[in-house]
Structure 1
Amino acid sequence: MVTSPPVRIAVLGTHSTGKTTLLKRMEMELRGHGLTVARTGRLGKRAAAAGLPKLQRHTAQSTEWIIAQGILDETTAAARGADVVLIDRAAHDAIAYFQAAMAFRAETPPRLERERLLALASTQLPKYDLLFATVLDESVPVDTGHDYDAAFRRLVDQHAHRVLANDAIPHQRVTSDPDSQAHAVEVAVHHCLQELLA
């Protein structure tokens, strides 16, 4: 029933814009069609647990760790036989956070380091069957348990969409509008069913 490799669907965007919720909805729908689904995630928390800086303090080292760990998680999920791998934070997400952190701190990363990280992230693009990018809507309240800097959150959103545009990376924008989110789920489910059950 299943082709190999699995269908890979990735999402990126600034924090608290519905990435994880969107992937959970996709997972539920796909499981309802009898597909096995693996979902990666929690890279920021795991980086912090490893002693690496995150958010405004992102460095080239923490960015590389997040990209590499994301690749490992995705590869492991595929090796375990999942029909669909849902990637919570595409590789370019780490690039957007790194660029935003540099801008927030008014720093300029060395050109070769920036290009090296971008090249590493770009190696993953051919593997994504679909890429979704959430769009920041500052009118939507965030969880008060998170201490987010609004300016940094905005910078990440700007850099995420800029890197997608600059490199002409195919993606679908997902806003906070319920119809936009429902459409994204519908596109993902349709693609998976067409690829895996046709």
Structure 2
Amino acid sequence: MTNPIRIGITGAHSTGKTMLLRRIEMELRAEGIRVARTGWVGKRAAGLGLPKREQHTAASTEWAIAQGIADEIGAAQSADVVLADCAVVDALACWHAAVEFRGEILDPGDDERMRLLAATQHAKYDLLLATVLDPAAPVEPKRHAYDSRYRELVDRHVHGLLAEQDIEHLRVTHDPHDEGRAVKTAVRLALQLVPA
């Protein structure tokens, strides 16, 4: 089996990441392409009692990055395209945001270690989509109880890390035309690269 196409998505909470990947998955499946999706790392972390969101720590970040890597490797065994919901840069951005939110200072050794671990994956994405936070877009409070300041910090850190590390990505705003462009780009890439 050849290496599958990897499409990752990153961005702040409730910025349409999962919905965007669902649209891409549906279009790819309609073309007969085998798709595997990863995600739900936050739920699994909570199930283990690991801190998340504003309480993210170096340990929970390391677990989230390592779990994301493992999930993507596992998904690659049976798919033509792997869709990574919450690419590994997400965990790093969430941790940076949490530390800033709490008014703490990052431990330089932990930060360097996490950056190196996340960096092992960046080049593996054939396409990385980065959603942009629209503070005016509604969030279902019963499903997502996010602190708005924390969401804004995550958004800033996601895009800051992408720029700082010169990680190639496609920005996706909340505009339906922009989201449609992202879906078309992902599908076109998969159709070009997946062997017939």
When the two structures are superposed, what TM-score results if normalisation uses the length of structure 1?
Answer: 0.97
The one-character-per-residue Cα deviations of 1:106-155 (angstroms, maximum 9, x if unpaired) are 11121111010000000001211000000000111001212110000100
Residues 9-48 of structure 1 mapped to structure 2, 5 A cutoff: 9-48=7-46
Taking the aligned partners of 1:74 and 1:120, their CA distance within structure 2 comes to: 14
Taking the aligned partners of 2:166 and 2:118, their CA distance within structure 1 comes to: 14
Taking the aligned partners of 2:64 and 2:195, their CA distance within structure 1 comes to: 33
Q: Identity percentage over the alignment?
A: 55
Residue of structure 1 in register with 2:169 after alignment = 171
Residues 171-190 of structure 1 mapped to structure 2, 5 A cutoff: 171-190=169-188
Let me know the Cα RMSD of the aligned residues. 0.9
Residue of structure 2 in register with 1:139 after alignment = 136
Residue of structure 1 in register with 2:64 after alignment = 66
1:124 to 118, 121, 125: 121
The one-character-per-residue Cα deviations of 1:24-67 (angstroms, maximum 9, x if unpaired) are 00000000000010000111111011110000000000000000
Amino acid at match of 1:184: A
Residue of structure 2 in register with 1:148 after alignment = 146
Taking the aligned partners of 2:194 and 2:21, their CA distance within structure 1 comes to: 18
Deviation at 1:4, TM superposition (A): 1.1
5+ unaligned residues in a row in structure 1: which ranges? none
Residue of structure 1 in register with 2:192 after alignment = 194
5+ unaligned residues in a row in structure 2: which ranges? none
Residue of structure 2 in register with 1:49 after alignment = 47
Taking the aligned partners of 1:91 and 1:140, their CA distance within structure 2 comes to: 25
